[in-house]
Structure 1
Amino acid sequence: MQRNRVGLGAVLMLLIGFLPAISNAQELEPELMELINKGLNKNHELNVNEFEAEQAVLDQKLAKSTFLPKITLNGNYTRLNDDIRFDEDTEKLLLGTQKLLIKEAVGLPFNSEFPETLPLQAIPAIQQKNILKSSVDVDWVLFSGFQASSALKASKHKEASINFAGSALENKAALKIIETYDQLALVNASEKVLKTSEEFLTQQELFVKKAIENGLATPIERKKIELARQQLIGKQLEFEQNKTLLIEVLQQLTGVNREQLNLLDPHLAPFTTVEDQPVEKRDEVKALEEAEKASLSKAKMERNNFIPKLALKGHYELLEDDLSLLDPKWYVGVGLRWNLFDGNQSHLKSQQSRFEALKYREQLAEAEEMIALSITKAELALRASRQNTMIVQKEIDLAKETYEMVDKQYRNDLASITDVLDALKDLEQAGFRLQESYFKERRAQIDLLHAKGQLDF
């Protein structure tokens, strides 16, 4: 019985088309970079981090504003139960003195009677019971005992730490988008393999149907083709569900609408020189270093609480009518404030900040150890994935040769349809494994770039 040889050319051309387009530099695809940029703009953690950085900038401005004069406008009204006056004896003394001065002025003897026709002025109250005041106060710190400068340094280091932590969050978000994008590329490649397999089964199904009609094949062969088609439909459904899920994940990560994401056609393209890149300090390490410096500056600020502080105080009364006889219209003074003992609070707070700095130091040491381990792990994973790619490519070569041999045997009645389907399945699975190997290789390269601090978005 003469068999019709179908599908092999299409399958082989498809598998050859799956070979990755090796890039000459560590550059991500433009469409992937666009997704990353949109994802970074949408990421809620990054937005919160940006707000925290703005707060650190405001802390710096607050520290600087310590040396700016504070001007306060005051106004108040008070009503007493009565005027505040001198006691009765003092008022009599003041009236007697007034009479003596008047008699001296008009030329009357000292011991003569005071004329009743001459008026006397009433003794004014020390303070009227209705008091309306308005004044301006100026408070100006001239020397803060180095607390303000230490607070400024702490807030600057805090801002730098937050910014580096934000860069680390950017890398984390970008890595998630890249991984999802690569998974989508893997699904698309798998779907193309299944599509070619479907074309083969369709042609083989037509051949078996004609063979049965001519008495050259049995219905069992058709049922085997039907079973293979059902299995293929199950795989297609699985990959379609995976693609839908990945589109949903990308939509959540980037905010791009699903219609645009469905138009994506990503391919797995490993890099070539990623392992040659020098190791740079990771943003996580920089963030911990700045956090440690911020804690040390904060501890210094607390210790400086025992250094004397110098400030200027000024006061000016805008309304004079209701001032008492003893109230000044204005005054200016310089004051010294020296905290000798505050119940040990400053010392304890300084100790807290120092322990916080020690905590960051331990986290820094742990981070450096984990980064070194991640570099080794990524390098090993990259070597393993590249070795696996070479093995799978040899498997594909063997599967192609096996398929060609079985197909010839089938055409010459030396093999069954089951053997042909098994050979096609082996070729199909080898194509899947090759794409998975490319995926793992790219993941290892991206992880190595990240471990070495080479990712920059």
Structure 2
Amino acid sequence: MKIIVIMCALLAYAFGASALSLDAAIEKVKQNNLEIDAAKMDEQIKELEYQIASSTGYGSLDHNQYALRSNDALNVFGYKLTSREASFADFGFIQYDSTNPNVTSIIPDDLNYPQARNLFSTNVTYTIPLYTGGKIEQYRKMAQALKALSTLSREEHTVQKIAEVKKSFYALSLLKNHLYRLGLIAHNIEKLEQRAVAMHEEGYAKKVDILEVQTKRADVERLVEQAKVNETLLYHYLSFLLNENVESIIGNYEAELHLDIPLETMLNENRAIKKAEQSEAVSKMNVSLQESNFLPQIGAFVQYGSSDDRLMNDFSSHDAYTVGLQMKWNLFNGGADKAGLEKARVGNLKAASEARLAKETIVWHIRRLQTQMHMYEYEIASLKKEVELSQTVYENYTGRYEQKLASMSEVIVKQSDALRAVMKLQEAQNARNDVIFELEKIAAKELQ
């Protein structure tokens, strides 16, 4: 009965309305996975930062509009000069008396106590850096390199999630096969129990034989339930990866995976190594950036505008322009620039060392995984023979029990051996698949 229930469940999963293929799941994970989405947004941020860094060299154009009112003597006189409306009367010449011999003692009210005046000033200013010692160029290069780093990170996340999806599909397929085998074992134990009960009724078996086989059946049922729980968890994890509910999959993924990629190709395609190399390049750019602090900074500006006591009144009559250059060259800052340059050089040496370490680590990781893969391949071949042999031995002992040539305990032992072999085979197959997927991640396989 239980084997029928299990088979029905498997068929329901295999042909359910929401069944998902591996190809469709890979496309969904690339589009819907939340971690990949976050990595894409990081990539967009770095692209915008690159655009910001690139725009610095084009200078800036600013429009300034002022609306002021003051009765401060200096401000009022300045406002009149700015709008080209100053007169001799503003200097107090009205109070000048030619009969007064002490002209210098006169304190002109028009100059010191002027009436309040408005100033509406409209200016457009364009400033542009002419020479920065390479600072702007290095900022642009570093922003571009950081953008490339974010792209590598996004691709790394994508490869990781694709591998996890494939791993889930293959694990589910192996688990279904495992459930099928457990179902057959449960069916055989149920038949054995029926034989034991029949033989006990005829006086050819003991009550303890029935209890032993019932205990074993309960053990197998526990393993079946355990496998079904693991299957449910795998579907939950697959739903998490795809950010949508997945209840069943379609396709057969029980065939053994194979991966034959040369070591050099793996190293050339590995994104962890590319990221380390890119970080080294960024650190080298930072050295050049720090060196620019020892060079002068030269800029130019052009300003054009008009001022009056009324807004936009006779603009052309009161307009004015200013052009200029500025050079700034820091000659001493307590040694901070020198320390910053030395820090950048040490950082570059560290990044170069980390790049070499990343490559050596990946080489060791690949060789370790390849060794494990060969070990699992040998173990799987051996376990397949063991499963076949243990099943044959179990069936043989079942027949011997019916002929009273073996005890129920011996039959249960042989059945346990067969079950143990099945469990070990599934573990070895899962372990080998895990190694294959880890190698695929290293080689960045199937990103597209």
**Fold equivalence (TM over 0.5):** yes
Aligned to 1:219: 207
SS in 2 for 1:76: strand
Per-residue deviation at 1:388?
0.7
Q: Superposition pairs for residues 115-194 of structure 1, below 5 Å?
A: 129-136=116-123, 137-194=125-182
CA 1:374–1:304: 2 relative to 1, 3 Å: same
Q: Which sections of structure 1, spanning at least 5 residues, go unmatched?
A: 1-9, 15-29, 98-121
Does 1:408 pair with 2:399?
yes
Aligned to 2:266: 279
Q: Which sections of structure 2, spanning at least 5 residues, go unmatched?
A: 8-19, 78-85, 99-107
Aligned to 2:190: 202
Is the CA contact (8 Å cut-off) linking 1:275 and 1:379 kept in structure 2? no
Q: Distance in 1 between matches of 2:26 and 2:89?
A: 89
Is the CA contact (8 Å cut-off) linking 1:269 and 1:442 kept in structure 2? no
CA 1:397–1:375: 2 relative to 1, 3 Å: same
Look up the equivalent residue of 2:281 and give its one-letter code: K
Does 1:241 pair with 2:229?
yes
Aligned-residue CA RMSD in angstroms?
3.5
Q: Superposition pairs for residues 26-425 of structure 1, below 5 Å?
A: 31-74=21-64, 75-82=66-73, 83-84=76-77, 91-92=92-93, 129-136=116-123, 137-257=125-245, 260-263=246-249, 267-274=253-260, 278-281=265-268, 282-321=270-309, 329-425=320-416
Q: Distance in 2 between matches of 1:90 and 1:398?
A: 119
CA 1:409–1:77: 2 relative to 1, 3 Å: same
Q: Distance in 1 between matches of 2:431 and 2:257?
A: 12
Larger Rg: 1
CA 1:196–1:401: 2 relative to 1, 3 Å: closer
Per-residue deviation at 1:275?
5.4
How many residue pairs match? The answer is 402
Look up the equivalent residue of 1:153 and give its one-letter code: K
Is the CA contact (8 Å cut-off) linking 1:184 and 1:266 kept in structure 2? no
TM-score, structure 2 normalization:
0.78
Match of 1:445 among 412, 436, 443: 436
Q: Distance in 1 between matches of 2:115 and 2:256?
A: 91
Q: Distance in 1 between matches of 2:51 and 2:262?
A: 44
Per-residue deviation at 1:196?
0.8
SS in 2 for 1:429: helix
Q: Distance in 1 between matches of 2:190 and 2:90?
A: 127
Per-residue deviation at 1:385?
0.6
Moved more, 228-237 or 397-406: 397-406
Q: Distance in 2 between matches of 1:250 and 1:261?
A: 9
Look up the equivalent residue of 1:134 and give its one-letter code: S
CA 1:432–1:264: 2 relative to 1, 3 Å: farther
Aligned to 2:427: 436
Per-residue deviation at 1:348?
2.9
Q: Percent identity?
A: 18
Is the CA contact (8 Å cut-off) linking 1:271 and 1:445 kept in structure 2? yes
Deviations 1:256-275 (A, max 9, x none): 31xx3344566333233525
Aligned to 2:81: none
Look up the equivalent residue of 1:131 and give its one-letter code: N
Per-residue deviation at 1:33?
4.1
Q: Distance in 1 between matches of 2:40 and 2:335?
A: 36
Moved more, 220-229 or 207-216: 207-216
Moved more, 273-282 or 398-407: 273-282
Q: Distance in 2 between matches of 1:90 and 1:435?
A: 103
Per-residue deviation at 1:169?
2.5
